[in-house]
Every structure is written in C-alpha cells, then in structure tokens.
Structure 1
Amino acid sequence: MNVIHTRLSLVTSGLLLVAMVVSWSSGFIGYRYVADQGSVYLATLWRFILAAVVLLPFAWKGLHALRGRDLVHQGLLGLFAIGGYIGPIAASIQLGVAPGTASLIANLLPLTIVVLAGSVPGQRTRGWQWLGLALCLSGMLVASAASVEWDATDLWVHSLPVLAVLSLAAATLYQKALPGASMSALTALFIQVCAVIPVFAVLAGLEGEIRPPMRTGFAVGVVWLVIFATLGGYGFYWLCLQRFSIQRISGVLFLTPPVTMIWAWLQFGDPLVGSAMVGVVLTLLGVPLLGMNHVDTPCADKAGRHVRSS
C-alpha cells in the first residue's frame, strides 16, 4: 500500500509541475495573440477584471474571516508577483524590446530565485544542485538564443524585464518565508488580482483608453489569459511552491522557453530551431539534480501547511 501511495504521490507531483510549466507558457502565447488585437495594458486590465468577477463567488465566504493584515499580505503579493512582473515586461515590449528577448530575460527568474534562496531558512542551494542549475540555465539559454534581438531599442529598456524578475523573485521568497494566514487558494488569488487592477487601469488610461474594443479576437485573448495564464499559471505556481523546494520549482521553470517555442510553432507556425530540443534535453538533465538534498513534501516545510495561490 505504501508503494502505491508513493507512486501516486510521484504522479501527482509530476502532473502539478507539468501543469505549472504549460500554464506559465500560456501567458506568452496569450500575449502574442492579444498584441495583434490592441494594447497589452488594456488586455491585461480586462484580464484581471474578468478574473476578479470569476473568482468572487468562490472567494466571498473566505473573505469574511480575514483580518486587515491578511488582506495587506495578499495584496502585497499581488502587487509584486503579478503587477511587478507583468507590468515591466509589457512596458518593455511596448517600448520596442523583441518578445523573444523579453522572454529570455524574464526566464532568468529561476536563476534569481535559486541564488537568493539562501535568505529563506531550509532553502539554501548546495551540492549537486549547483550543477543542476548550470545545466538548466544552459538549456534555457541554448533554447532561447535564436529569438534574441538586442539592437531593437535602448539598453535601459532591457532593464525592465530584469525588474520584473526581481519583483516576482522577491514575492516568491517572501511567500516561502512568511506564508501568512491559511486561506483557500481562490480567496488568496482574488485578493491579489484585485490589488493589481488599479495599476493596470492607470497604465491603460495613460495610453488613452480603458474600454475594451468590441472585437472577438480581443475577447478570446482576454479569456485565454484569464483561464490559462491567471487561474492556471499563478495558481499552479503557488500550489507548487507549497509542495516543492524552491530549487525544484526553479529547475522546472527553465522548461518554459522551449515549451513556449514549441507551442508557438504548433499554434502560429513560428520556425522551430533544433537548439530548442537541445535546450530541453539539458534542462531535463538538470531538473533531477536541482531536486536533490531536499525532501519535497509539505512536512519538510512548515510553510507547506498553508494554502497559497497567486
């Protein structure tokens, strides 16, 4: 019975990690689609408005039991993990950074998290994990190199995705170290989404419009971002953070660029270079090493007893 339970646990863990990578990649695919339909800021604003409407019925009961500091905690997570990540990346693309270049810089997130993990008790990177990190990083760089364009705009604009990476990394470490009050995942996600709506309302307003265009393509793109990138992407990310070590999550996230490239090839007919496959292989070799020296169970991490979402 223990063997069966262990196998089921491994299968569940694997499915969670796969769902996280696919959902995370879906955001890049969704923005690739909505970029042809209108402003990225406008699409992001209505992405979160719609997400809040969808989440409200499920979060309503849990909201009554929360204290003010719980709302502040989740609101800060939303501002840094969602607003602080998506806003600078969208701004960099609007100012001329190629999407492939922005994606490459943004996907240095796992490296940043692993390097900073020593600030969280019990999450220090050590031993074979450094070799795993090197393999995963090499795989991500090899897979993404073909889509990089550094001459598109001023150098300072390329710093915006770096700010996005630092913002989400800070939110990740903050949540791992101080998980806050236990609450349902949907309640936490609702609070975080509501916290960033004013941010993107201002950004969209500065571009001159906050009303959504009455076009089917725009609506489809926003719904895609709500279901896959918001509920799926951030939801699975924080659920995996509850269950696994920072190192294992970071290693799996290195698969996002090649998965995104393969997805774009299937959906949009973008050229698929052989380096993407090489990058996948290198990353897959590194992920098991990044998972060593940690016991990836909720019992291994006191924070694991809390439900987190974003």
Structure 2
Amino acid sequence: MTAPALSLPRPLLWPLMAVALVLCWSSGFIGIRYASESAGVGLVLFWRTLVAGLILLPFALLVGPRMTLRGGIEQCLFGVMSVFLYLGGFALAIGARVPTGTVALISDLLPLAIAALSQPVLGERLSVAQWAGTAVAVLGVLIVSADSLSLGTAPLWAYGLTVASMLGFALASVLVKKRPGLRMPLHQSLCLHSLTGAVLFGLCAGWQGTLAPPLTMSFALGIGWLVLFATFGAYGIYYSSLRLFPVARVSAVIYLSPPVTMLWGWALFGEPLTATMVAGLAVTLAGVMLTMRG
C-alpha cells in the first residue's frame, strides 16, 4: 500500500520542516545529559544506535523495495561518515580533553563546510546574500559560544579529529544530494546507518568494558529521547529535507542549534540565560533569515 502524499503547500513545507529540524537537532544534548549520568558516552552511543536500528529493521525488511547489496554497502559507508565518525569523533575528542565548548563550536560550523562543498561538488553556487547571511550566522554562534570556549590541554590530533568529524558529515551530506539514483527509502537508509554505527560503537565500548546497559531510569529516558528526537527526528527530517531542498539551505538552519540548545537548557534544567546568549540568538536568526532570502 502506498503512503499518502504530503499535502502541505510547498511554501509552508520548508518553514515547518526547518522548525522541526532545529528543535530535534538541538535536543540531542538532553538525551546525552540524562543517559551519561550512569554511563560513558561510548556506551550511550552504542545503545542509541542499536535501539534505533532494531526498531527500524522490520520496516526496512518488509516495507519498500528490496535492498540490494550495492545499495546496502553504500549506505553503510554513509553511516560510517554521518553516524560513527561524526558522533564518535566528537566523543573521542572530548575524552582526549578537548573542551566541550570548543567541540560544540566546531560541530556547529557544519553548515559552513557544507556551503563550501556545495559549489564544487553539487554546482550549487551561493549568492552574495547567502554568504553574508552565513557570516552573520557564524558570528551569532561565536557570541553564544564565547563563554564556553577555551584551548584546553588536549593533543593537537584531538582538535584535528573534531574538524575531520565535522567535514566527514558535510561530505556525506553533499554526496547524498549528488547521487539521487542510489537513494533508498528513508527508513531503510536510516536503519543501515544506525546499525553500522551500533556495530562500530559496540566494538569501541566493548573494548573499554561491558556493553550491558545501566538499569536506571535516567539511562532509559536518555536513550529513548536520543532515539526518538535526535535520531528519528533530527536525522529523518535532515535527510528528507536534503531530497527536497538545496543542501546549503537545509544546513543553514543548523546554525540555530547552539542558541536553541541554550533555550532547552534554560527551560528544562534551569541553566542561566544571559543577555549575551539572547543577543547571539538574535544575530544567528538574522543570519539564517538572510541566507534563506538569498
């Protein structure tokens, strides 16, 4: 049976998807915060990807076209870049004593890397207004992140790892857009991405200790949040948006992730909300709007 087509008018579709994307993308830290109270980041990432992949597996096998070996291998490679290297690289960098604020800032520069790659790889040339909006959005991210930035004492390779993790996801994003003929239905590709990450994170977490999950409410709540919002929501909406809209436009809304994350922390955990953070949110929003108009 064919799923009913989405009937929203096209002018309304992107704003609604953009709002949902930034809310889900920025909410990932909530699940990490809950789950990491009783487990290391490696174990959290293993159970996040394993649970997500197992939930999607029966739908991937029974709903949609039959998966081919070539398509499966390619999706697994995308999973290495967009799940294992992206999430695991940042976790390893933090474990190597790269300050969390610095890791978050490099992660949040993902749209800048995608904008830079979209022209040589996809031929999507950004206008002057879009580049100006990108610069303003980056400035807003810097304002929001200023208080949490520090150099730390980590080795140089750990800082390079954060940049490589971000660039790997940016490259995966433009390659997905460049090769539409090899796309799978979203539930199938996301299933393979998640299971690929689960295998690799499982090897890493198993090498460090046990794979058994802590039997605590905070861990269960955190994993549930990460699977529902940060995996199904964020990755699902992101890949769906890439199939409908230019990659630079889709990635630009991720600039709003740091200030919206700040709002999540203020609303749920009572974290301080300063005038500087609010100013950074306003600047970032202005930059994203300028990029959209361009």
- TM-score, normalised via structure 2 length: 0.92
| Cα pair 2:30 2:222 within 8 Å, conserved | no
| Cα pair 1:245 1:291 within 8 Å, conserved | no
Residue 47 of structure 2 aligns with an amino acid whose one-letter code is: W
Q: How far is 1:9 from its partner?
A: 2.5
Q: How far is 1:269 from its partner?
A: 1.7
| Cα pair 1:107 1:256 within 8 Å, conserved | yes
Per-residue CA distance 1:154-205 (angstroms, 9 max, x = gap): 4432222212101101101111111343532111111111112111011101
Taking the aligned partners of 1:277 and 1:57, their CA distance within structure 2 comes to 44
User: What is aligned with 1:305?
Assistant: none
Taking the aligned partners of 1:241 and 1:278, their CA distance within structure 2 comes to 30
Per-residue CA distance 1:69-96 (angstroms, 9 max, x = gap): 1111211111101111000111122222
Taking the aligned partners of 2:268 and 2:221, their CA distance within structure 1 comes to 15
Pair 1:179-2:180 in alignment: yes
SS in 2 for 1:37: coil
Q: How far is 1:64 from its partner?
A: 6.1
Pair 1:218-2:219 in alignment: yes
| Cα pair 2:136 2:283 within 8 Å, conserved | yes
Q: How far is 1:34 from its partner?
A: 2.1
Residue 208 of structure 2 aligns with an amino acid whose one-letter code is: E
Q: How far is 1:62 from its partner?
A: 4.3
Q: How far is 1:55 from its partner?
A: 0.8
- Structure 1 residues not aligned, in runs of 5+: 1-5, 294-310
Per-residue CA distance 1:126-148 (angstroms, 9 max, x = gap): 32111111111111111111122
Per-residue CA distance 1:84-117 (angstroms, 9 max, x = gap): 1000111122222332221111111111111111
Percent of pairs with identical residues: 38
SS in 1 for 2:279: helix
Taking the aligned partners of 1:286 and 1:232, their CA distance within structure 2 comes to 24
Taking the aligned partners of 2:57 and 2:264, their CA distance within structure 1 comes to 31
User: What is aligned with 1:204?
Assistant: 205
Residue 203 of structure 1 aligns with an amino acid whose one-letter code is: C
| Cα pair 1:110 1:254 within 8 Å, conserved | yes
User: What is aligned with 2:241?
Assistant: 240
Distance 1:161 1:136, change over 3 A: same
Q: How far is 1:253 from its partner?
A: 0.8
Taking the aligned partners of 1:95 and 1:175, their CA distance within structure 2 comes to 31
Q: Alpha carbon RMSD of aligned pairs, Å?
A: 2.0
Residue 138 of structure 1 aligns with an amino acid whose one-letter code is: L
Taking the aligned partners of 2:23 and 2:276, their CA distance within structure 1 comes to 20
Residue 255 of structure 1 aligns with an amino acid whose one-letter code is: L
Q: How far is 1:7 from its partner?
A: 8.6
Aligned residue runs from structure 1 range 131-142, under 5 A: 131-142=132-143
Per-residue CA distance 1:228-257 (angstroms, 9 max, x = gap): 111111111111111221221222110000
| Cα pair 2:99 2:152 within 8 Å, conserved | no
Distance 1:268 1:153, change over 3 A: farther
Aligned residue runs from structure 1 range 1-310, under 5 A: 8-62=9-63, 65-292=66-293
SS in 2 for 1:222: helix
Instruction: Tell me the number of residue pairs that the alignment of Structure 1 and Structure 2 aligns.
Output: 289
Residue 175 of structure 2 aligns with an amino acid whose one-letter code is: Y
SS in 2 for 1:97: coil
- Structure 2 residues not aligned, in runs of 5+: 1-6
Q: How far is 1:67 from its partner?
A: 1.6
| Cα pair 1:100 1:144 within 8 Å, conserved | yes
Taking the aligned partners of 2:187 and 2:144, their CA distance within structure 1 comes to 34
Taking the aligned partners of 1:137 and 1:266, their CA distance within structure 2 comes to 24
Per-residue CA distance 1:273-304 (angstroms, 9 max, x = gap): 222221222222222332345xxxxxxxxxxx
| Cα pair 1:73 1:180 within 8 Å, conserved | no
| Cα pair 1:62 1:183 within 8 Å, conserved | no
Distance 1:160 1:182, change over 3 A: closer
| Cα pair 1:129 1:247 within 8 Å, conserved | no
Taking the aligned partners of 2:36 and 2:96, their CA distance within structure 1 comes to 13
- TM-score, normalised via structure 1 length: 0.87
